[in-house]
Amino acid sequence: MYKKDWISKWAIYSPDKVAISEYETNRTITYQQLNLRANYLSNKLVSDGFKTGDRLMVIAEHCIEYVALFAMAQKTGITLVPVNYRLSSSEIEYLISNSKPTCIIAERKFEHLIAEQAKVEVIWMEDLTQELAIANETQFSALDFDENHPLFILYTSGTTGFPKGAIYSHKMLFWNSVNTSQSLEIVPSDHTISCMPAFHTGGWNVLLTPLLHRGASVGIMKKFEADQLLQWLEKEKSQLFMGVPTMLKMMAESEQFKAADLSQMRYFIVGGEALPLSVINTWHNKGVKIRQGYGLTEVGPNLTSLHQDHAERKIGSIGLPNFYTEIKLMTPNGEEVKANEIGELCLAGPLVTPGYWNNEKATKEAIQDGWFHTGDLAKMDEEGFLYIVDRIKCMFISGGENVYPAEVERVLRQMPEIDEAAVVGVEDTQWGEVGKAYLTATNERLPSTDLIASHCAKYLAKFKVPKYIVWLKEMPKNDSGKIDRKKLKA
């Protein structure tokens, strides 16, 4: 019986082929070596009492060992909980209480993020690296479990002010890989470099896991550096690369840009937000085609794709639905809209999450009659190309990171001097969007901008801290008494 164990297959078919390269450490690992490490981890954790369904939280930068943990999870059904190391300790404390991991694997440099009161066993990644370097476990019989079983719990900022854990199942992983391989024509000889962090679905499921499923090769870059990335893409003769618009802009402005030979590149895949035509043209003039798409942590993530041949003609489009993606644009009454009419983008099929971890209310709100409601407003033209028009939710994207205002507002209101708070995303040349906080005061003594930023930094990741602060005498309200965010945005 097939038990969802990809790496053991490639250890047979291509044992000596390099699966993962880690550039900062100059380490590589073959498919056979990766399988040995995964077998070792599987035997170790199962013998230590881990069971299918137990959670294993990881607080670390992307690395070879992280990929070995992924391969272990495919074999055992242990669920990985990748955590954003840019969060504050109080934010991570909430994730620990919500997911209740049996164990935490962390890099020592992130020790300060793990509160002592968490009372969870911690294994240091550095110690694990030494163990795995001499691992020689040739056998582990992969366990059997349901395809809807969680592979990952991926936390996204919540509209209620608290993060939600999106369940990413083994079924989603498989169908996303099939969807991606078909859309992007992935073959075993392909190579990519991943700059996306492991706490994002993009760090796993845009290119890394689909390429591992096809027996291809992936280079891991722990931190994005435009100059260095261009050099590595040229040296490795990479065929594919996925990045957010901020990365492509910075690469185009790099001193290495003109000299870099990217003639082997089939295309760049871009997500997160629309890429300006000027940047598209810059890369097209370089001979690099651009493919834009759309995805979610909860669905896919590879759901639509704008073929490179249409990048200029259909500027602003997220393209056509991928092969196994079912899409409807619906009115609030559940009726499907016509061409060029605006409706909520709803998704169905084997790529949809089973739901949110320990959050039945959020699951029922998001998944109705088998359709996942994205909260994004979209339209479809006569040729079937999709365009995102606006977000129903107030979320904005800063440097490729999702920021939910409710989460920031909750922290701002913790300050006794602040009465009401409303955060909106405003345009920023470097990060795409940044936060602008509108505040009303409880008294005449207003805290300084620096004091507000310092307070936010204690509880929020840096990218969530508002860049701008505006004090108002009174918040604009709509007829129902809620803050009128449209007026603030305008």
Give percent above pLDDT 70 in the chain: 96
Question: Has residue 273 got a pLDDT over 80?
Answer: no
Pull the structure tokens for residue 1: 């019986």
The full 3-state SS of 299-326, as one line of letters, equals ECCCCEEECHHHCCCCCCEEEEECCCCE
119 and 235 fall within a common domain: yes
Final residue before a domain boundary, out of 349, 380, 411: 380
Alpha helices (H) along 345-393: 360-366
Which of 380, 407, 425 is where one domain is finished? 380
In this prediction, residues 69-94 reach a mean pLDDT of 94
Residue 389, domain member (yes or no): no
Residue 278, pLDDT above cutoff 90: no
For position 334, which CATH number holds? 3.40.50.12780
DSSP, collapsed to helix, strand or coil, labels residue 107 as coil
- 444 vs 80 pLDDT, higher one: 80
How many beta carbons lie within 10 A of that of residue 130, not counting itself?
9
The residue among 217, 174, 213, 216 whose CA lies nearest residue 6 is 213
Asked if residue 469 has pLDDT above 90, the reply is yes
Q: What is the C-alpha separation between 484 and 479, in angstroms, rounded?
A: 9
Instruction: Please name the residue ranges forming H helices in 86-186.
Output: 89-99, 125-133, 170-184
- Cβ neighbours around 168 below 10 Å, total: 27
CA distance 239 to 50: 39
Q: Indicate whether 371 and 401 sit together in one domain.
A: no
- Taking each helix axis from N to C end, the angle separating 277-285 and 245-252, rounded to the nearest 10 degrees, works out to 50
Residue-range definition of the domain harbouring residue 166: 6-380
On the question of pLDDT at 14 being above 70, the answer is yes
Domain endpoint, select from 317, 351, 380: 380
Phi then psi for 451, rounded to 5 degrees? Answer: -65, -40
Whether 120 maps to a domain, the answer reads yes
Does 231 reside within a domain?
yes
Q: Does 1 fall in a domain? A: no
Q: Is the domain of 372 the same as that of 421?
A: no
Clarify whether residues 441 and 375 are in a common domain. Answer: no
The predicted pLDDT at position 19 comes to: 98
CATH number at residue 476: 3.30.300.30
State the Cα–Cα distance between residues 373 and 346, nearest whole angstrom: 5
Evaluate if residue 382 carries a pLDDT over 90.
Answer: yes
For position 407, what pLDDT does the model report? Answer: 81
**Residue 130 and residue 94 share a domain:** yes
Asked if 118 and 235 sit in the same domain, the reply is yes
Say if residue 375 is in the same domain as residue 402.
no
Please give the pLDDT value at position 480. 47
Structural domain count of the chain: 2
Tokens of 9: 């297959």
The pLDDT-based confidence of 356 (bands split at 50, 70, 90) is very high
Angstrom distance (rounded) from CA 358 to CA 343:
29
Neighbours of 440 (CB within 10 A): 14
User: Residue 359 falls within a domain, yes or no?
Assistant: yes
- 337 and 416 belong to one structural domain: no
CA-nearest of 111, 83, 108, 65 to 220 is 65
Distance CA 339, CA 280 (A): 27
Looking at the fold, whether 243 and 112 belong to one and the same domain comes out as yes
pLDDT band at 391 (very low <50, low <70, confident <90, very high): low
Q: Indicate the Cα dihedral angle 436, 438, 444, 447, nearest 10°.
A: -30
Q: Are residues 250 and 328 in the same domain?
A: yes
Rounded mean pLDDT of 409-419?
89
In this structure, the answer to whether residues 100 and 148 fall within a common structural domain is yes
Any domain includes 208? yes
Question: Do the domain assignments include residue 387?
Answer: no
pLDDT (0 to 100) of residue 55: 98
Model's pTM, two decimal places? 0.84
* DSSP label at residue 149: S
**332/447 same-domain check:** no
Please check whether residue 49 lies inside any domain of the structure. Answer: yes
Nearest Cα residue to 303 out of 152, 172, 150 = 172
Span 230-255, average pLDDT:
93
**In the predicted structure, residue 217 carries a pLDDT above the cut 90:** yes
Q: Which residue has the tokens 């259909």?
A: 314
277 Cα distance to chain centroid? 24
Asked if residues 316 and 323 have their Cβ atoms less than 8 Å apart, the reply is no
Q: In terms of residues, how long is the chain?
A: 490
